[in-house]
Amino acid sequence: MAAAVAAVIVVLLSLLTASNSATVFTGSITPNFTTSHFLQIDNSGDFLRSINRTYTAAVLNLQPKPTSFSFYLIVYHTASRAVVWAANRNKPISISGQIRLSFTGITIHDDSGATIWSTPELNSTIASLQLHDSGNLILVDRFNKTLWQSFDFPMDTIVTGQKFPVNGTLTAVNSPSDFSDGDYSFTLTSGDGILRWNDVTYYNLLMDSKSVRNSNKLISYLMVNGSGFYLFGGSESDVAIKVLIPPAVTDSDYRILKMSNDGHLVVMRFTDNNWVTDFSTPGDSCRPPSRCGKLGLCSGDRCSCPPGFRTDPVTNSGCVLTDNSLSLPETCDASFRQSENYVYFQLGTGLEYFPVDFINPVVNGVVLSTCETICSASCSCLGFFYGNGSGSCYLIEHHFGSMVSSSNNKTDDKLGFIKTISSISSSGNEGDNSSSDFPVIGMILLPTSGILVIVAAAILMSRRYRNHKMRPRSKKLGGKSYSDDLDMFSIAGLPVRFDHEDLVEATMDFSTPIGSGGFGTVYKGVLRDKTVVAVKKITALGAQGKKEFGTEIAIIGNIHHVNLVKLKGFCAHGRERFLVYEYMSRGSLDRTLFCPGPPMEWQERFEIAVGTARGLAYLHSGCEHKIIHCDVKPENILLSDSMQVKISDFGLSKLLSPEQSGFFTTMRGTRGYLAPEWLTNAAISDKTDVYSYGMVLLELIQGRKNCAQAPSHDPGNPSTSTDGRSSNSSRSQNQNHHHPRARALYFPLKALEMHEEGRYLDLVEPRLAGRVTNDEAEKLVKVALCCLHEDPTLRPTMVNVVAMLEGTLSVSEPRLECLNFLRFYGRRFTEPSTVVTGAEIEVPSGFMVANVDSSCPSVSPNSFSYTSSQQVSGPR
C-alpha cells in the first residue's frame, strides 16, 4: 500500500516537473516513450491519434466507477468512443501502470514494474509506433516495414476494411466494463463462421437466412464494408459467402462487426451520433446458450425455471434446485472420485438443450441407466439428455447453459437429467415440511454396479477412439472378415442393430416389397412392438466392406430432423446389409402427385415444398458433416398420413466435409433432376441438390413429370433399359420420340416462357383452377427458376430457399441469362432428330454412364419409377 502511494507521488512529481510529456501525438510515436493514464490525465488518457483523427490510442478505465485496477491500453473510434482493440484485456492495470514503447516492443507494467503484457519478440528494431486511419496500431522498422499490427490480434471487433483471417477468433468481452475473455466467441473456418459458447458450437453463419453461399471456395478471410460482410476465398473477387446488410452505407457512416457478450454476432453502424444494429445473428433470441443463465428456461425470449428449480437468489440469474437436500456437483478437480450419492434429477418433458443440435451422442441404442453410468464415471459430466426413441446419450459437460422448450413435435423426444449430490444420508432430515413439496417426478437413483462402470469405461474409450479419426483395428479387414462382426463395434455412434431373424419375422420373410431404388428393394415390416418399419435390403453394395458401411450409417443414424426419414437401425448378416427406417404411410410423392386420383391441394404442395427444403437445408448446413443428397426427386420424398414430409436415401451419397469442395468420387442422381454440372467436369456441391429441388418444385406446381409427353403418350414406347449400360439404348429411345413430337413438352422451358410473360397460373395444374392465386404461383415458379440457374454459384442456398418460401426473405428474380440453357435442353427434347450420343457428353473418367443425354426419358404416367433405369451410378 505504502509502495503504491509512493509510486503515485513519484508519478505526480514527474507529472509536475515534466508536464510536456502530456501531449497527444498524431500519426506516430518513436521510442523510447513511456506513458500511463496518470501521465495523460489532462487528455483523459489519450496519447496517440491517427492522422485524420478517426481513431485514438489511449490508456483508459472503462468501469463506470473508477477503481484502481481497470485500465487498458486501447484503440477506440474517436467519434463513437467504441473500443475496437485492447492489449491487456485480461490484465488491467492501475492508474499509474505504465505503457512503454522501446526499440524492441511495447510492454505494459503493473505498479510493481512487472511486465504483464508485451508484443512478441520482433525481427528488427522498431522505428516507430503508428496509428493508421484504418484503426490499425502498427510497429514498423526503419524501412517502414510492418513488424507487428493490432489487426493480427483482434479482440471482439473488426472494423470496416480490416481483414479477419481464417482460423481467427473474436472473443466476446465478459461485460462492457470487464474486457476479459467471455464465454462467447466467433471463429472463421474454411467453410463457415462458427459461434461458440465455452467451445461448444451453438450456431453457424450459414444457418442465418441472410447468409448466401456464393461459391465453394475455401474461405481465407472476412471483411466488413458498406454493403455487408463478405467471406472471401483467395481474393477480393472471390466471394465464398456473403451477408448483405441493408442499408448500404456511405463512407461517413461507420460500421463494425462484433461478437457481443450476449452471444450474438452483430453488425453495428454509428450514424447521427447513435449506434444502430443492422444485423444480429442468431435471430432466435433463445439460441445463445446462456440467455437465461445456468439451467434457466428460455421460451419466447422470456426466462423462467424448469419445474423443481427456482431462481438463484444469490445471483438473480439462472436457477437452483428447489430441494435443499440436493446440490450440484463441485467443479472438477484432481481428486475426483465417483460418488455413490449421485441422484439424477429429471427435467420436465419438452425441454431441449442447445448442443444436442450440434454434438454427436456418445453412444446410441442404450438404455437410460447406461447413460447415467457414463455420466457418473465422468467428472466433467453435469448431466445428460437421453433420446427416448433412439437410445442416444448426449452428455452435458463442463458448463450448464440455458434450456429451451421444444415447440415442435420432435420425432425423438429428449429426456434431460441433471447430476446432483444427495446430502440426505449425511445430514439427516433438515427440512421438516419440505418433504411435502419434494419433486416426486423423476428421481432416479443410480444403479452403481461394477459391471456397468466397466461398460461405461469401455464406451468412453471407444468414444475417444472415434475422436481419433475413427480408425478401427483394421488388420482383419479384408475378404474374409465379413464374419468378424467385432470390427463393426469399434465404430461408436452406430444406431440400433437388429437381428436378421427379427427382420425376417417382421417382414414375413421379405414378402411385401413396397418399392425399389438404386440401392435395393424396400420391404414393409412390423416389429414385435407393433412399430411399422420400412426395411431396405441393400443390393448395390460395392466392394466396400463393413467399416465403410458402419461409418456411413453411424453418420446417417445421428441425423435427426423432422423432415428427414429416421434410420431406426441396421442389420449386417453375412454379406447382406439392411437398413431399417421409420415407415411413411403414404409412400413417395410421385405416387400421390403423378397418379390418377383427386389432385393434391395447393396448400399441401406448398407444405411439401417447404418441408423438403427444410430437410435439405439441414443436410447442407445444419449438421456436423455437410451432406449432399445427390438424388433429390419425388421418389425420395416420402409422405405420412399426418401431412409430414420426409426425405429418404440421404447419406447414401458420399459425405462432403466442409473442407472438401472439389470432386465427388461417387456420382449418383437421376436424369431429369440432374444439374448440368453432372455432365460437365464441374464440381458437385450442395447447389447440385438445389437444382434437383427446383425441378421437383416445378413438378409439384404442374402435378406432372417435367419431361412427360403430352397426355396421349405413345404406349408402345419401351421403357428405358433396366441397367442402361449402353448408350445405344438411349439413342434408339430418343428416336422413338418421333410420334408425339408436336406435343412433347419440356416443362422447365414452358415455365421460363410463362415467367417471361408473367402468366404464372398457366403453369399450375389445371385441376386446381380457381384455388390458387397468381401471386402464390409466381412465388413458387420464381424460386424454382432461381434454383435452376446454370451457374451453381448463382443458385440460392437451401437455407435461403426456405426463407423465400416462408416469406422472411424476398423472392429473387430469376436471371434469364442463366436459364437460356433450358431452351437448348428443350429443343433437344422436342426435336428428336438431335440425337445425343455418349461421345458428346464429357464425363469424368472412371464413371459408368447410363443413358446420359440432356433430354428426358419417356415416363409412363402410372409408373412409379422405382426402377434404377434412369440412374447414373458410379462405382461405390
Ligand X SMILES: *[C@@H]1O[C@H](CO)[C@@H](O)[C@H](O)[C@H]1NC(C)=O
| Among residues 21, 63, 80, 102, the one that binds ligand X under rule CB under 6 A | 102
Closest CB to ligand X among residues 388, 732: 388
Cβ neighbours around 820 below 10 Å, total: 11
For ligand X, the binding residue among 17, 20, 123, 274 (CB under 6 A) is 123
> Smallest gap, in angstroms, from Cβ of residue 30 to ligand X?
9
CB of 12 to ligand X, least distance (A): 22
In the complex, least distance from residue 408 CB atom to ligand X, rounded to whole angstroms: 6
Please give the single-letter amino acid code of residue 42.
D
Helix residue ranges per DSSP H, 133-184: none
Interface with ligand X, residue 349, by CB under 6 A = yes
Cell numbers representing residue 249 in the block: 452505407
Pairing of strands 297-299, 403-405: parallel
Q: Among 38, 72, 230, 400, which residue interacts with ligand X (rule: CB under 6 A)?
A: 230
> Could you say whether residue 273 binds ligand X (CB under 6 A)?
no
What is the per-residue DSSP string for 611-648? Answer: HHHHHHHIIIIISSSEE--S--SGGGEEE-TTS-EEE-
Binding site: which residues? 537
C-alpha cell at 214: 456464393
Letters for 681-720 (x = contact with ligand X by CB under 6 A, - = none) are ----------------------------------------
Q: How far apart are CA 515 and CA 536, in angstroms?
A: 9
Where are the strands (E) in 260-350, listed by range? 265-271, 274-281, 297-299, 302-304, 309-311, 319-321, 326-327, 342-346
CA distances, 113 to each of 93, 99, 574 (Å): 11, 10, 74
**Each residue of 424-442: b (16+ CB within 10 Å) or e?**
eeeeeeeeeeeeeeebeeb
3-class DSSP state for residue 471? coil
167 is a site residue for ligand X (CB under 6 A) = yes
Using the minimum distance from each CB to ligand X, give the nearer residue, 190 or 666. Answer: 190
Among 32, 316, 436, 845, binds ligand X (CB under 6 A): 32
Please tell me whether residue 594 binds ligand X under the rule CB under 6 A. Answer: no
Among 14, 21, 43, 54, binds ligand X (CB under 6 A): 54
Return the number of the residue (531 or 773) whose C-beta is nearest ligand X: 531
Main-chain phi, psi angles of 609, to 5 degrees? -60, -45
Residue closer to ligand X (CB basis): 166 or 540: 166
- Residue 658, all three cell numbers: 466442409
Q: Which listed residue (152, 199, 236, 284) binds ligand X by CB under 6 A? A: 236
Q: Tell me whether residue 17 or residue 409 sits nearer to ligand X (CB atom).
A: 409
Mode of pairing for the β-strands spanning 567-573 and 496-497: parallel
Q: Binders of ligand X among 600-619, rule CB under 6 A?
A: none
Q: How far is the CB of 497 from ligand X (least distance, A)?
A: 18
Binding site members for ATP:
537
Distance CA 635, CA 618 (A): 19
Q: What is the largest CA-CA distance in the chain?
A: 107
Binding mask 761-790 for ligand X (x = CB under 6 A): ------------------------------
Minimal distance in Å, beta carbon 442 to ligand X? 9
Catalytic annotation, pick one of 323, 631, 686, 689? 631
When asked if residue 227 is in the footprint of ligand X (CB under 6 A), the reply is yes
Distance CA 671, CA 268 (A): 47
Say if residues 709 and 740 touch (Cβ distance below 8 Å). yes
Q: What is the x/- site pattern for ligand X, positions 424-453, by CB under 6 A? A: ------------------------------
152 touches ligand X by CB under 6 A: no
Q: Is residue 2 within a helix (H) or strand (E), and if so which, with residue range?
A: helix 2-17
* Total interface residues for ligand X by CB under 6 A: 25
Q: Which stretch binds ligand X (CB under 6 A): 219-227, 297-305, 371-379, 671-679?
A: 219-227
Closest to 149 measured CA to CA, from 139, 158, 141, 159: 139
Binding region for ligand X (CB under 6 A) out of 175-183, 223-231, 507-515, 568-576 = 223-231
Query: What does the block give as the cell for 738?
Result: 418421333
When binding is defined by CB under 6 A, the residue of 67, 225, 474, 774 that contacts ligand X is 225
Q: How far is the CB of 162 from ligand X (least distance, A)?
A: 12
Kindly state whether residue 843 participates in binding ligand X, applying the rule CB under 6 A.
Answer: no
CA dist 674 and 872 (Å) reads 9
Return the closest-CA partner of residue 18 out of 44, 40, 37, 43: 40
Within 8 A by CB and 6+ apart from 91, the residues are 108, 110, 116, 117
- Which of residues 273 and 408 has its CB atom nearest to ligand X in the complex? 408
Q: How far is the CB of 676 from ligand X (least distance, A)?
A: 26
Instruction: Using the minimum distance from each CB to ligand X, give the nearer residue, 221 or 678.
Output: 221
In the numeric block, which cell numbers belong to residue 386? 437421453
> What does R_g of the chain's alpha carbons equal in angstroms?
32
| Residue 251 engages ligand X in binding (rule: CB under 6 A) | yes
The stretch near ligand X (CB under 6 A) out of 36-44, 173-181, 220-228, 550-558 is 220-228
Cell triple for 857: 426419358
Identity of the amino acid at 574: G
Q: Compute the least distance from the CB of residue 802 to ligand X, in Å.
A: 17
Pick the closer one to ligand X by CB: 144 or 474: 144
**Residue 592 DSSP SS3:** helix
C-alpha cell at 745: 413438352
Q: Are 31 and 101 in contact (CB under 8 A)?
A: yes
Grid coordinates representing 519 are 440401392
> What would the grid cell of residue 605 be?
404442395
State the cell numbers at 781: 415458379
Distances in Å between the Cα of 457 and the Cα atoms of 360, 370, 380, 686 are 18, 11, 14, 39
Interacting positions 375-394 with ligand X (CB under 6 A): 388
Which of 112, 144, 434, 681 forms a contact with ligand X (CB under 6 A)?
Answer: 144
Position among 226, 599, 676, 838 found at the interface with ligand X (CB under 6 A): 226
Min separation Cβ 143 and ligand X, Å: 9
Nearer to ligand X, 204 or 378 (CB): 204
Q: How far is the CB of 385 from ligand X (least distance, A)?
A: 12
- What letter represents residue 538's amino acid? I
Q: Among 224-232, 432-440, 504-512, 820-828, which window interacts with ligand X (CB under 6 A)?
A: 224-232
Taking the least distance from each CB to ligand X, the nearer of 241 and 788 is 241
Q: How far apart are CA 402 and CA 767, in angstroms?
A: 50
2: which 3 cell numbers?
Answer: 505504502
Query: How far is Cα 322 from Cα 328, in angstroms, rounded to an integer?
Result: 12
125 belongs to the binding site for ligand X (CB under 6 A): no
631 is catalytic: yes
**Shortest reach from residue 375's CB to ligand X, in Å:** 18
Q: Which 402-421 positions form the footprint of ligand X (CB under 6 A)?
A: 407-409, 413, 415
**Closer CB to ligand X, 102 or 666, in the complex:** 102
Which one of the spans 59-67, 170-178, 226-234, 609-617 is the region binding ligand X (CB under 6 A)? 226-234
Task: Quote the CA–CA distance of 384 and 382 in Å, as a whole number.
Answer: 7
Min separation Cβ 154 and ligand X, Å: 15
Alpha helices in 414-557 (DSSP H): 424-427, 450-467, 500-506, 546-557
Asked if residue 534 lies in contact with residue 526, where contact means CB atoms within 8 angstroms, the answer is no
Closer CB to ligand X, 223 or 326, in the complex: 223
Enumerate binding residues for ligand X (CB under 6 A): 32, 52, 54, 102, 123, 133-134, 144, 166-167, 225-227, 230, 236, 239, 248, 251, 349, 388, 407-409, 413, 415
Active-site residues, by number, are 631
